[in-house]
Amino acid sequence: MAQRIISQIELSIQKELDEQKVKSKAYFKFKQAIKKPTTLRAYKLALDRFMILSNMKSYDKVTELKSDKIQDLLESYIISLNKMSFQTANQRLAGVELFFDMNMVLYHKKILRKLLPGNDKEQGGKLAYTTEEIKEMLSLTTKLRSKAIIHFFASTGCRPSAIADPIFRLKHVEEMNHKCKSILVYSGSKEKYYAFLTPEASKALDSYLNQRKLNGEKLDEESPVFANISDFPTTKQAHLSVNSTNQIIRDILKKSSIERKRNGQRHDKAELYGFRKRFNTILKLENEINSNIAEKLMAHKRGLDGTYLQPTKEECFGEFIKAIPQLTIDSTQKQQIQIKDLEEKLETTENLKARIQSLEESKGLYKQEMELMSKKKHTTIEDLQEQMQEMAKAIQELKKE
């Protein structure tokens, strides 16, 4: 009964807060400071949670409280976060701090930071999925959308926000050589970069999109690549959210034998970041891949190279194709790629042999021509000497006469 009463109170406060979001000056300043939709979503949830726990129903009025009162509310809020990891609690506090900072409210930030949970625990989500584990995931679903999502994250190593911030649409996908596709991530942002799909992942995406076409959906360049399943497939579909994507992978993992150890509120293998960890490991262990471009494919910004190095899409793709055999999940596909790679190397070797033989033959012909020219030159000199001798004799005879 008590839990039900608390929930009703929370819902009541949340309703009032939602109504104020349009007209509150304090909330407007807070919102204007945040540029990314995913950050706004996380910070808004943190701020609203603070307001509900503080029993405050007005964004504007909470900024008018005395500093001591605000400090007490903030400290109580942090205490409620003590069971969370440092990273999660830090994010929850950051959203509330930004709200008060944007409204020029004074409080003791250092004290709040000291109250956060310790940062000495081992972080979750550090381990990567293995290729065999991803293969098991694929075997546990018959849904083409789920298979395409698994292949997408395994091939690109993208962060989860790549599909929703901004919405990942068909206009962001282009065909590449070797039956691959390029993906423009974070389109329209200064953080945009290119990722790529292996032939295997490209095929999975094509199968999923073809299924949507067969269901009557009219796809165009504005259509979301990953869409919600609808009872009316012929209409324009809404994009798949990050939370829904996480849930798809979570449901598959529950049916799998993949071992995931819980560490606080997280697992050692994160639902979507496990793919990214594997992608990063493969790129870093492939010695032939340019390390700076590998960082670009991971959307990392490190050092001066992160700012000044701006490789083209083709240059990035040239490094990506070196990792295709390791990124490929299906062993048959992997063997086909390896066989094709060997055939190309064999063809290159045969071409080199033929070229060498041709050069050697050309060298032999050149040698013969030089010898022939040398003989002709020698013969010509002898003829001239004989002619000169005959002329000299003729001159002597003329003198005698």
Please compute the mean of the pLDDT values over residues 139-167 and round it to a whole number. 93
Alpha carbon distance 334, 341 (integer Å): 10
pLDDT digits (tens, 9 = 90+) for 56-74: 889 999 999 999 999 999 9
The strand pairing partners of 197, in sequence order, are 181
pLDDT digits (tens, 9 = 90+) for 191-202: 889 999 999 999
Alpha carbon distance 396, 394 (integer Å): 5
Confidence class of residue 165 from pLDDT cuts 50, 70 and 90?
Answer: confident
Nearest to 282, CA basis, from 386, 98, 156:
156
CATH top-level class of 131-329? mainly alpha
Give me the sign of the Cα torsion angle 152, 156, 158, 164. Answer: negative
Which residue, chain included where needed, has tokens 């991971």? 298
Say whether the peptide bond before residue 166 is cis (omega within 30 degrees of 0). yes
How many CB atoms lie under 10 A from the CB of residue 346?
A: 10
Per-residue pLDDT, 335: 57
Cα-Cα-Cα-Cα dihedral of 355, 338, 193, 135, to 10°? 180
Alpha carbon distance 17, 21 (integer Å): 6
Confidence class of residue 88 from pLDDT cuts 50, 70 and 90?
Answer: confident
pLDDT digits (tens, 9 = 90+) for 247-256: 999 999 999 9
Helix, strand or coil for residue 345? helix
Give the pair of three-digit tokens for residue 7: 């929930």
Domain ranges of the chain: 2-115, 131-329
Per-residue pLDDT, 134: 95
pLDDT digits (tens, 9 = 90+) for 46-57: 999 999 999 888
To the nearest whole percent, how much of the chain has pLDDT over 90? 44
pLDDT digits (tens, 9 = 90+) for 1-25: 344 445 777 777 788 888 888 789 9
**Average model confidence (pLDDT) across the chain:** 83
Alpha carbon distance 25, 175 (integer Å): 47
> What are the residue ranges of helices labelled H in 157-256?
199-214, 242-255
pLDDT digits (tens, 9 = 90+) for 192-232: 899 999 999 999 999 999 999 998 889 999 999 999 877 66
Give me the sign of the Cα torsion angle 59, 63, 69, 74. Answer: positive
pTM of the model: 0.68
Which residue, chain included where needed, has tokens 């694929």? 138
| Phi then psi dihedrals of residue 239, to 5 deg | -75, 155
pLDDT digits (tens, 9 = 90+) for 94-109: 999 999 999 999 999 9
The DSSP call for residue 312 is -
